[in-house]
Amino acid sequence: MGGRMHRIPLYSILLLFVAQSALAEKLYDDRLIVKFAEGIGAESLSGSGYDLMFEERLDFIEAAVYRPITMADGLNPFSIALDLMAREDIAYAEPNYRYEIIEQGLAAGPNDPEYQKLYGLRQIKATEAWQRSVGSREVVVAVIDTGVDFDHEDLAGNIFENNGELGVDKDGKDRRFNKVDDDNNGFVDDWRGWDFQNQDNEPFDDHMHGTHCSGTIGAVGDNGKGVVGVNWEISILPIKFLDGNGGSLVDAIKSIEYATVMGVDVMSNSWGGGGFGLSMLEAITRAGEKGILFVAAAGNKANNNDTQAFYPATYKTANMISVAAGDDQEKLASFSNFGRTTVHVLAPGVNILSTVPGNLYKAVSGTSMATPHVSGFAALLKAIDPELSMHDLRNKILGSTRAVPAVEGKVLTNGMIDFGGALENDTSAPGKIDGFTVTGAGLDHLGLAFAPAGDDGPNGSATIYEVRGAEEAIADESAWAEASVLATLYHPVSKNGIIELLLRDLPLNTSLQLAVRAYDNVLNASPISKSLGATTSPLTVVSLDKLETPDSFIGEGLWVHTKALAYSGEYSWMAKGTKAAKLISKPIALPENYQRIYVNHRQRFGGATPSCLFYVSGPDGKWQRVAQPSTQTYGWVGATYDLTDFVKGQKSLSFMLYFSAYKDESTFWAIDDFGIFVK
């Protein structure tokens, strides 16, 4: 084979999959990712007690990697990142988190293809799909993992080959080995993927995890050997950034960039850990903008991801599918993470038999094993219908799940991926949606209700409902296509024949046109509902600060005025880390006559659950606790508090935002668009 010697480790080795609370275990090394407000940045960066040297560019997210050359005692990459984020010329800075394999362990039993049969393929009804297609080499799935044994008897025929690096060059040399970047993509001789751990073109699996995941996605079918994947034919692109010791945030971002450049259809990601990272979020988002689905393992700690985020699966992006693991009885695996809003589907993940290096086969458990079932599922749907957009592919996967009582309320769709639903022979569109009304209007939300649509005309039940909004009436298909998606419901439950929905976190004084339509499990669409005008409760603006300058607040401790995150404009205030910190506003003058007075702002949380408290000054000058914001949210959300009873008779007021976190240095609270309103 040439190149490095490939050593296969003992399969009895078990790997931890989550980053530990100890700082050394949270980080891969002491490098930092820095994004400047403009441009890539300087050759070096210095601060109190540290000096950093530029190491390399991350062009995909327009950032750079720096390595400390001096770092005083008491400093670490987290504290340096916080110091850098206070600078006006830096958008964000974060340490190089460690990510690890999400493997629960090996199943006992003989190494035999007949042992622990492939129940997972029966659960997802793969045979129904194979009557339509067994896959296509035109569909490419990037397995971002520990690499792949590309010589395995059951995988070799389905390994991606880069046409730009095949054939012979002008000198008659084999392009695979001519040490030339023939396709000008920045990687020399990457004819079957790339290894970011070792910086070469041999992404061979020196563990076994990536090979196992690959077999579930696309072990060659009907070849009389071993197992079969969800796809009998496919192109698996091996991308290695992990080994038995994990992998770095820097290399994970490079892997996502490489897969995006190579134009894959799906990225399969059976790994996780670290903390919330803006750079990772940006990379996944950019992949989505290129139409690439990002499938990620929910994690193996039996945690609720709604309350304890696990990355990358908990990032709220339009291309994300987060996967929980089930067993052969369709029960949630004892180890599997879950989450009613942040984990999307169930897939087989206990004692899954698949390929491992050396022409061997093993049964392994974990959400790592559930994830490739979904990645393979997405790839086969794409082979059957190559015109499916990423948005429609994701909707079809989530909208066609089969109800599983054991996960009701524990995953978004309440069910298991199911080819029977996704490929049903159904050309009848759902019926028209009746009774679409606004049931209530708050300061930053609207209540909506409508009657459920049938699946086939008036019969059955549609599985997906999408609400869109626009400034003008949504009266036809063109207007619908231009409108913004405000909410998507999968398998909603009606009460007394009505589906109710609350559109949250709308800007104050919002007026817009709304419409809703239903889709069935194969994405037949209902007629568009009537277009409905709606307005949040009107208020008068006393003050509205976009926080583009730091002048109106005084940040103590960890609070910094930064470009790292912003709801609008370029700047926000953010506290990040494990120490208590206060953000105090300068006095704000109040009008003399009003009935009610409110404060509204945008906020965003990340990492572990922080303790956040919101105070307002009282008539005696003492701080009064107004609220303890719920931190179990992802993305920017609105917060509105009625201050009337707190500030009676006052001519001015001030606010204090108190932040503290205890275990996770990546935990943060960001604030933007701070306003006072009266009625």
Residue 548 CA neighbour count, 13 Å, CB half: 5
Q: Write the CB contacts of 569 (distance below 8 Å, at least 6 apart in sequence).
A: 546, 547, 548, 672
Tokens linked to 90: 């830096």
Identify how many contiguous H helices and E strands the chain contains and give both numbers: 11, 39
CA 128 to CA 400: how far, in whole Å? Answer: 14
Q: Which of 136, 235, 368, 375 is catalytic?
A: 368
Tell me whether residue 209 is one of the annotated catalytic residues: yes
Q: Are 520 and 455 in contact (CB under 8 A)?
A: yes
3-state SS record for 578-593: CCCEEEEECCEECCCC
Reported residue count of the chain is 679
3-state SS record for 95-119: EEEEEEECCCEECCCCCCCCCCCCH
Q: Coil, strand, or helix at residue 279?
A: helix
Tell me whether residue 455 is one of the annotated catalytic residues: no
Q: Which of 209, 212, 491, 601 is catalytic?
A: 209
Edge-to-edge strands of the sheet including 360-365? Answer: 105-106, 360-365, 352-356
Residue 80, Cβ density class (10 Å: 0-12 exposed, 13-18 middle, ≥19 buried): buried
Residue 626 CA neighbour count, 13 Å, CB half: 25
User: 313: which strand partners?
Assistant: none
Beta pairing class for 637-642 and 560-562: unpaired
Q: Which of 79, 83, 136, 145 is catalytic?
A: 145
Q: Coil, strand, or helix at residue 409?
A: coil
Tokens linked to 38: 């403009």
CA 82 to CA 529: how far, in whole Å? Answer: 49
334: closest CA among 356, 303, 294, 357? 303
Q: Write the CB contacts of 159 (distance below 8 Å, at least 6 apart in sequence).
A: 148, 150, 192, 235, 236, 238
Beta pairing class for 320-326 and 345-348: parallel
Helices (H), ranges, 16-160: 23-26, 77-85, 119-123, 126-130
CA 99 to CA 242: how far, in whole Å? Answer: 8
Place of tokens 């984990």: 343
Active site residues: 145, 209, 368
